[in-house]
Amino acid sequence: MLSTLDIDFFVRFLVNTLSLFVLLRYCYYRRSPNRDSLFSFFLFGIGVFIVTYLLRSVQVSMGFAFGLFAIFSMLRYRTETISIKGMTYLFLVITVSLLSAVGQTSLIELVLLNALLCICTGLAESKMLTPRLAEQVIRYEKIENIRPQNRQRLFDDLQQRTGLEIRNVLIDKIDFLRDTAQLRIFYVAEDGDLFAAESSSPVSHFVKKRDHGTAEYKEQTQNS
């Protein structure tokens, strides 16, 4: 056992741990502050590294090891709702752990490869690739503005009432009985918006105000 856990193991373990920490803490957690997912991804990467490193003495190919843990991850998280972004980070965690454990590279090359993965992930999460757009669903009462010829008027009205830089608007539903429409708006999200509570979001207040007005309308209709 001591002959297996030599200095190379501890050095690679340190490189793997630091790489996972940078990838998850400074790339994933900054944009998706989900502590449970960060905890799971981090320990999953540690487990993948330890098992695959101890299996290095067995004739196991990189493809077999990667497929083994990929299948295991699918079985483990099959009952959970994981976004495409979460699955991408899970793939990156497995990649970093396998490279650190059984990659046929020197320590310098391993550090450079892991740093390259972290840098590319950081760039993909930044505004350099695409602007970060947030999505909200609202109920809109000025139904005449949803006409194609009034699209600019719709944008102007929504931006004035929400104070957001709206990039696109999609119509989900139209209710002609109440003269309302359910809209899906896409707006440029600032750092504060991504971490703000739902009750403090300007769109949330806008939606609650519209819902309150709709409830009053329904009550008046029923009374009449």
Q: For the segment 22-42, what is each residue's pLDDT rounded down to a tens digit?
A: 999 999 988 777 888 899 899
* Domain containing residue 92: 7-125
pLDDT at residue 59, rounded to an integer: 57
CB neighbours of residue 19 within 10 Å: 25
Q: Give the pLDDT confidence score for residue 136 in this predicted structure.
A: 87
What is the CATH classification number for the domain harbouring 168?
A: 3.30.70
Residue 17 and residue 102 share a domain: yes
Domains of the chain: total = 2
What pLDDT sits at residue 206? 43
In a domain, 160, yes or no: yes
CB-CB contact of 55 with 65 (8 Å)? yes
Tens-digit pLDDT profile for the chain (224 aa)? 556 678 889 999 999 999 999 999 999 988 777 888 899 899 999 998 998 888 776 655 556 666 666 665 555 555 566 778 888 898 899 899 989 988 888 999 999 999 999 999 998 888 777 677 788 899 999 989 999 999 999 999 999 998 888 989 999 999 988 889 999 998 887 655 543 433 334 444 444 444 444 444 445 555 54
Q: Quick check: is 47 in a domain?
A: yes
| Residue 67 to residues 52, 61, 72, 207, Cα–Cα distance (Å) | 12, 10, 8, 46
82, 98, 125 — which closes off a domain? 125
In a domain, 161, yes or no: yes
Contact 88, 38 (CB under 8 A): no
pLDDT of residue 205: 41
Residue 64 pLDDT? 62
Tokens of 11: 């050095």
Same domain, 217 and 151: yes
Q: Are residues 205 and 140 in the same domain?
A: yes
Is the residue at 45 inside a domain?
Answer: yes
End-to-end CA distance of the chain: 83
Instruction: Clarify whether residues 153 and 203 are in a common domain.
Output: yes
Tell me, yes or no, whether 119 and 13 share the same domain: yes
Check whether residue 83 and residue 191 sit in a common domain.
no
Same domain, 152 and 175: yes
102 lies in the same domain as 176: no
Is 101 in the same domain as 41? yes
Write the CB contacts of 71 (distance below 8 Å, at least 6 apart in sequence): none
User: What does the pLDDT read at residue 80?
Assistant: 60
Q: Are residues 118 and 161 in the same domain?
A: no
Residues 174 and 74 in one domain: no
The dihedral formed by the CA atoms of 95, 100, 103 and 109, expressed in degrees to the nearest 10: 110
pLDDT score for 6: 82
11 shares its domain with 121: yes
In order, the DSSP letters of the chain are: -TTTS-HHHHHHHHHHHHHHHIIIIIIIHHHS--HHHHHHHHHHHHHHHHHHHHTTTS---HHHHHHHHHHHHHHHTTTS---HHHHHHHHHHHHHHHHHHH-SS-HHHHHHHHHHHHHHHHHHHSTTTS--EEEEEEEE--GGGGSGGGHHHHHHHHHHHH---EEEEEEEEEETTTTEEEEEEEEEPPHHHHHS-GGG-HHHHHHHHHHHHHHHHHHHHHH-
Strand order, beta sheet including 166-175: 133-140, 180-188, 166-175
Q: pLDDT at position 39, please? A: 92
- Within a domain: residue 1? no
Could you tell me if residue 24 is inside a domain? Answer: yes
Domain boundary among 75, 103, 125: 125
| Residue that is last in its domain, among 105, 125, 145 | 125
